Amino acid sequence: MASSTFAALLAQAEEAGVGYFTPTPGPASLVVKNANMSATKAGDPKIGLQLAIVGGPDNNKSFWTNFNFIATSPTGLAISFRTLGELGMSKDDFLALPEDKEAASAKVKDILGGVAFTADIEVKVSGDWTNINLRKIKVGGPPSAPSVADNTTPEIPFPAPAAGAPPF
């Protein structure tokens, strides 16, 4: 049996983004450190992004946020597709995702891994769950203070999947 301290094990978990860190709400510079494809408890597809903070007191700390693709939630679908589209995942990228979750995870990581961007982090706690949402995404720019101009919702770059089509 390998010997290790809880401090070393906790450091490994935090490096993987599975720790006790919840980001501070507000503007932040971020980079996509890892990405994966999995499913929600109900079996709907889900893309997870491990994001690392760049700069400031939380430099290099990371956290995960998920984008769920639930067919019964058109607004949720639009938000997930739009947000990942803003980060560089095109309609064609989505349509080319393999059925196999491991292969899809590798493809999503290839597309989004290393993308640097700024966003306003929004943290919502509901019961035992903490949801982290990203707003006002700007790929490659410095964090900015909120302004009236930033409060617009961009057009969705591509439509949600057709009814009855397999999600991935």
pLDDT (tens digit per residue) in 74-115: 999 999 999 999 999 999 999 999 989 999 999 999 999 999
Whole-model pTM?
0.72
The CATH architecture assigned to 23-144 reads Beta Barrel (2.40)
Beta-carbon contacts of 81 under 8 Å, excluding residues fewer than 6 positions away, are 94, 156, 157, 158, 160
